[in-house]
Amino acid sequence: MRKEKERGFSLIELLLVVVIIGVVAALAVPAYQRATKAAENGAVFSTLRVIASTQVTFFSQNSRFGRLAEINQVVGNGLGVNTPDRMIRGTFLFEMTPVVPTDAELKSEYVITATRNIPGEPMIQYELTQTGEIKQIRP
Q: What is the pLDDT of residues 40-83, one digit of tens each?
A: 989 999 999 999 999 999 999 999 999 999 999 999 999 999 99
Average pLDDT over residues 104-133: 95
| DSSP state for residue 95 in the 8-state scheme | E
Percent of residues, the chain, with pLDDT higher than 90: 83
Q: Are 58 and 49 spatial neighbours (Cβ–Cβ below 8 Å)?
A: no
The amino acid at residue 109 is E
Greatest Cα pair distance, the chain, in angstroms, is 95
pTM above 0.75, yes or no: yes
CB contact set of 92 (below 8 Å; sequence gap of 6+) = 40, 44, 47, 114, 115, 116
Mean pLDDT of the chain: 92
The pLDDT of residue 53 is: 96
In 8-116, which ranges are continuous DSSP H helix? 11-62, 68-74
Compute the distance between CA of residue 70 and CA of residue 67 in angstroms, rounded to an integer. Answer: 5
Phi, psi of 82 (to 5 degrees): -80, 135
The pLDDT of residue 8 is: 84
CA-nearest of 45, 67, 59 to 135 is 45
Residue 25's alpha-carbon distances to 72, 97, 135, in angstroms, are 40, 43, 35
